[in-house]
């Protein structure tokens, strides 16, 4: 793998930098649990938080950021446009109000409902207005990215997808690289199911790390920004310690071989809309 062990950020095509490790708050209810998780992550050195309009917890993310005392400019905040609404600009104005911010670092289309392109001019407008420093997509396939490229003035800089050794979307990863789109990983632990995988366990034992650290490292060592979700302080802390060890080429071969998607160019297996 080419990426160096200690690299903790990656440059996006628009010149902005994304921290390779972020805390994801999918399925964390708005309220104390979400505020605590974000506060702990910020205390423990995370500088990247990923929320969404659909998660309904932007208010807690904003509260935690404010209470943390960490400089807003030092934290990379992502939210996502829920494509059941019509207007990405109006929806982002609401998100910013809930977050208590004047801009987010990254605003992405949560999924390509109704097709991949109709919302893109609105996303570009959100960027022009300064509401979002960078814009991108999520759950988009290679083909859907190509459709956006056909109409875009400004290309998405990120495609956030379900990505882990059993969902190693090699064709999508290559397509992203060719288009200068950074593939970002959600569900890096297979929503927890990969933590008991025998291959992952054997590598974890060999390197003296936890299975979660191995799975997160599998992303960041290849330069893929990764969103780790936990509401437990000890797990948030351990999941952050992934920049001080390296997997070998042999570890990568074994983990890559767990793929069950056939190296797909799709963004996900089953659309839910």
Q: Does position 166 bind ligand A2P by CB under 6 A?
A: no
Q: Does position 145 bind ligand A2P by CB under 6 A?
A: no
φ, ψ (nearest 5 deg) of residue 210: -85, 160
- Burial-class residue 26 by CB neighbours within 10 Å (0-12, 13-18, 19+): middle
Q: Does position 192 bind ligand A2P by CB under 6 A?
A: yes
Distances, alpha carbon 105 to alpha carbons 67, 133, 138, in Å:
19, 5, 15
Cβ proximity to ligand A2P: between 138 and 230 the closer is 230
Neighbours of 159 (CB within 10 A): 29
Neighbours of 111 (CB within 10 A): 23
Q: What CA–CA distance (Å, rounded) separates 214 from 242? A: 8
Task: Give the distance from CA 100 to its chain's centroid.
Answer: 21
Residue 55 is a catalytic residue: yes
Size of the site for ligand A2P (CB under 6 A): 17
Q: Does position 230 bind ligand A2P by CB under 6 A?
A: yes
Q: What CA–CA distance (Å, rounded) separates 66 from 100? A: 8
Q: Which of 52, 145, 183, 212 binds ligand A2P (CB under 6 A)?
A: 212
Q: Does position 195 bind ligand A2P by CB under 6 A?
A: yes
Q: Does position 48 bind ligand A2P by CB under 6 A?
A: no
Q: Which of 187, 221, 261, 266 binds ligand A2P (CB under 6 A)?
A: 187
Q: Which of 137, 224, 238, 242 binds ligand A2P (CB under 6 A)?
A: 238
Q: Which of 232, 262, 263, 271 binds ligand A2P (CB under 6 A)?
A: 232
Q: In the numeric block, which tokens belong to residue 85?
A: 């609404």
Q: Which of 44, 235, 254, 256 binds ligand A2P (CB under 6 A)?
A: 235
**Residues at the site binding ligand A2P, with contacts judged by CB under 6 A:** 187-192, 195, 210, 212, 228-232, 235, 238-239
- Give catalytic residue positions: 55
């Amino acid at each position: 793998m080419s990426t160096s062990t200690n690299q903790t950020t990656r440059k996006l095509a628009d010149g902005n930098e994304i921290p390779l490790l972020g805390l994801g708050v999918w399925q964390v209810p708005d309220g104390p649990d979400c505020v605590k998780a974000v506060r702990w992550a910020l205390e423990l050195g995370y500088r990247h938080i990923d929320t969404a309009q659909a998660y309904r917890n932007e208010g807690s993310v904003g509260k935690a950021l404010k209470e943390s005392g960490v400089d807003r400019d030092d934290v990379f905040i992502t939210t996502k446009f829920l494509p059941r609404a019509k207007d990405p600009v109006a929806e982002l104005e609401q998100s910013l109000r809930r977050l208590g911010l004047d801009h987010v670092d990254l605003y992405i289309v949560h999924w390509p409902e109704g097709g991949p392109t109709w919302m893109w001019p609105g996303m570009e407008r959100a960027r022009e207005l300064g509401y979002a420093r960078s814009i991108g997509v999520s759950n988009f396939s290679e083909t859907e990215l190509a459709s956006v490229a056909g109409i875009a003035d400004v290309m998405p800089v990120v495609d956030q997808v379900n990505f882990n050794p059993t969902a190693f979307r090699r064709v999508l990863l290559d397509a992203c690289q060719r288009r200068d789109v950074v593939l970002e990983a959600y569900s890096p632990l297979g929503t927890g199911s990969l933590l008991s995988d025998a291959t992952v366990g054997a590598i974890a034992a060999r390197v003296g790390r936890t299975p979660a650290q191995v799975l997160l490292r599998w992303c960041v060592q290849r330069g893929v920004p990764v969103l780790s979700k936990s509401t437990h302080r000890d797990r948030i802390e351990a999941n952050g310690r992934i920049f001080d060890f390296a997997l070998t080429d042999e570890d990568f071969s074994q983990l890559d071989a767990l793929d069950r998607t056939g190296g797909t160019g799709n963004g996900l297996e089953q659309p839910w809309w």
